[in-house]
Amino acid sequence: MSVILSENPSSGILLLRFNRPEKLNTLNQEMRDELIRLLDAAAADNDVRVVVMTGDEKAFIAGADIKAFAAADADEVKSWNHEKFWHDLGAFPKPLIAAVNGYALGGGCEVMLCSDIIIMGEGVKIGLPEITLGFMPGGGATQRLPRAVGKYRAMQMILTGSRIGAAEALEMELASEVVADRDVLSRALEVAETVASMPPLATQKVKQAVLMSQEEPFFDGMKRERELFYDLMATEDRAEGIQAFFDKRKPVFKGK
Is the confidence at residue 1, as pLDDT, over 90? Answer: no
Residues 190 and 228 in one domain: no
Q: How many domains does the chain have?
A: 2
Confirm if 2 and 19 have CB atoms less than 8 A apart: yes
* Single-letter amino acid code for the residue at 130: E
Q: Which of 63-77, 87-101, 212-226 is predicted least confidently?
A: 63-77
Examine residue 110 and state whether it is found in any structural domain, yes or no: yes
Is the confidence at residue 71, as pLDDT, over 80? Answer: no
Residues 111 and 147 in one domain: yes
Catalytic residue among 64, 99, 188, 196: 64
Q: Write the CATH number for 226.
A: 1.10.12
Residues 189 and 229 in one domain: no
Average pLDDT, the chain: 93
Could you read off the pLDDT of 182-212 as tens digits, one per residue? 999 999 999 999 999 999 999 999 999 999 8
Confirm if 16 and 96 have CB atoms less than 8 A apart: no
Catalytic residue among 12, 34, 99, 110: 110
What is the percentage of the chain residues whose pLDDT exceeds 70? 100
Residues 54 and 176 in one domain: yes
Rg value, the chain, Cα: 19
Is the confidence at residue 73, as pLDDT, over 90? Answer: no
Q: Which of 27-31, 38-42, 57-61, 158-162 is predicted least confidently?
A: 27-31
Pairing of strands 177-179, 117-121: parallel
62 catalytically annotated: no
Could you read off the pLDDT of 161-184 as tens digits, one per residue? 999 999 999 999 999 999 999 999
Catalytic residue among 42, 130, 169, 175: 130
pTM for the whole structure:
0.93
130 catalytically annotated: yes
215 catalytically annotated: no
107 catalytically annotated: yes
Residues 181 and 214 in one domain: no
Residues 190 and 216 in one domain: no
pLDDT band with cut points at 50, 70 and 90 for residue 13: very high
Examine residue 135 and state whether it is found in any structural domain, yes or no: yes
Catalytic residue among 107, 121, 127, 140: 107
Residues 226 and 134 in one domain: no
Residues 186 and 216 in one domain: no
Is the confidence at residue 51, as pLDDT, over 80? Answer: yes
Could you read off the pLDDT of 119-140 as tens digits, one per residue? 999 999 999 999 999 989 999 9
Residues 39 and 102 in one domain: yes
Examine residue 254 and state whether it is found in any structural domain, yes or no: no
Query: In what side-by-side order are the strands of the sheet with 59-61?
Result: 59-61, 103-105, 125-127, 163-164
Examine residue 252 and state whether it is found in any structural domain, yes or no: no
- List the domain range (segments joined by +) for residue 79: 4-196
**Cα–Cα distance, 176 to 174 (Å, whole number):** 7
Residues 8 and 131 in one domain: yes
Residues 190 and 205 in one domain: no
**Cα–Cα distance, 31 to 91 (Å, whole number):** 18
Residue with the bigger pLDDT between 73 and 216: it is 216
* Mean pLDDT calculated for residue range 151-167: 97
Examine residue 17 and state whether it is found in any structural domain, yes or no: yes
Residues 87 and 192 in one domain: yes
Which SS3 state, helix, strand or coil, does residue 94 take?
A: coil
